[in-house]
Homo-oligomer: A and B are copies of this chain.
Amino acid sequence: MPRLDESLLTHLPPFDGLSRTDIRRILDGAVSRRFEIGADIFREGEPADRFFLLLDGYIRVVRTTEAGEQITVLHIPAGQLFGIARAIGRETYPGRAVAAAECIVLCWPTALWDDFTRHYPGFGLSMARTVGVRLGEIQSRMQELATLHVEARIATALLRLITQTGRQTAAGVEIDFPLTRQDLSEMTGTTLHTVSRLLSAWQREGVVQSQHRRITVLDRARLEACAQHKG
């Protein structure tokens, strides 16, 4: 494998302010891997013997019910650590991490975790903050699920997606990776039928534009209005 470039890490919070040599050491412990769309990075219940940094791409963490339904519990945008189950006292991964877009990740064995936190104080802190943010996010999503109607939930999900991974185009903001109706329904706790109907309606009204697995938001303001509505 080629030697990894130090500039990969210098601007990311966990490694912010570290010296070149420190970063060199950290990188030398890492393996870089590439995942195709749809590939599993880790699976629910697997021993949490690795942790990761997402350099590029987009990941969703899903849980599967006994009945086989899947729901997305978490989204991870580029630049974040993930798979840090061990850091919060878990032996196994609590969900499955799927590459939503093509992903480049760095991967370390869990053993290095203690090493890093001991030698680089910013690392532990940044991790705590990541967990905190994630807890907050998930609580917000729970609140949405409990109080908002389907329309508002889907609008919220789209807005979140374009903020995190939107790509500006002539027409509007496009979500930067293929996304099926099924994916959206798993994010919002509804069915792919309902999502499809809603997107069709929004398309008729010029709010979004979508063909096959690509979605572009044309009228962000309208979507935000939808996200507010309670009923």
Contacts and interface: CB of A to CB of B under 8 A. Distances in A.
B136 A138 contact: no
Contacts of A65: 143, 147
Interface of A: 63, 65, 67, 69, 71, 73, 85, 87-90, 94-95, 125, 128-136, 138-139, 141-143, 145-147, 188-189, 230
A209 to B, nearest CB: 27
A148 B230 CA distance: 21
Contacts of A63: 139, 143
A72 to B, nearest CB: 9
A133 B89 CA distance: 8
Q: How many copies does the complex hold?
A: 2
A145 B69 CA distance: 13
Nearest to A187: B146
Contact of A147 (B67, B128, B136): B67
Nearest to A230: B67
Contacts of A73: 139, 142-143
* Most central of A63, A95, A143 by chain B CB within 10 Å: A143
B146 A135 contact: no
A136 B89 contact: no
